[in-house]
Amino acid sequence: MAGNEVVILRIGHRPERDQRVTTHVGLTARALGARGMYLATADKGVVKSIRDVADRWGGDFFCQDNVKWRSCIRDWKVQGGIVVHLTMYGLNLPEVIGEVKAHGKVLVIVGAEKVPGEIYGLADYNVAVTGQPHSEISSLALFLDHYFSGQEFNNEFPNAQIRIIPSRAGKQTEEL
Ligand X SMILES: C[S@@+](CC[C@H](N)C(=O)[O-])C[C@H]1O[C@@H](n2cnc3c(N)ncnc32)[C@H](O)[C@@H]1O
Helix, strand, or coil (residue 99): helix
Phi, psi (deg, nearest 5) at residue 87? -155, 140
Residue 96 · residue 71 · CB < 8 Å = no
Nearer to ligand X, 54 or 115 (CB): 115
Taking CB under 6 A as the rule, does residue 20 contact ligand X?
A: no
Q: Does 115 bind ligand X (CB under 6 A)?
A: yes
Task: Using the minimum distance from each CB to ligand X, give the nearer residue, 57 or 143.
Answer: 143
Query: Is-contact 137 25, C-beta < 8 A?
Result: yes
Measured CA to CA in angstroms, residue 6 lies from 116, 145, 156, 169 at distances of 22, 12, 16, 34
Considering the complex, what minimum distance in angstroms separates the CB of residue 133 from ligand X? 5
- Site string (50-69) toward ligand X, x via CB under 6 A: --------------------
Which residues of the shown chain bind ligand X in the complex (CB under 6 A)?
Answer: 86-88, 110-112, 114-115, 128-130, 132-136, 139
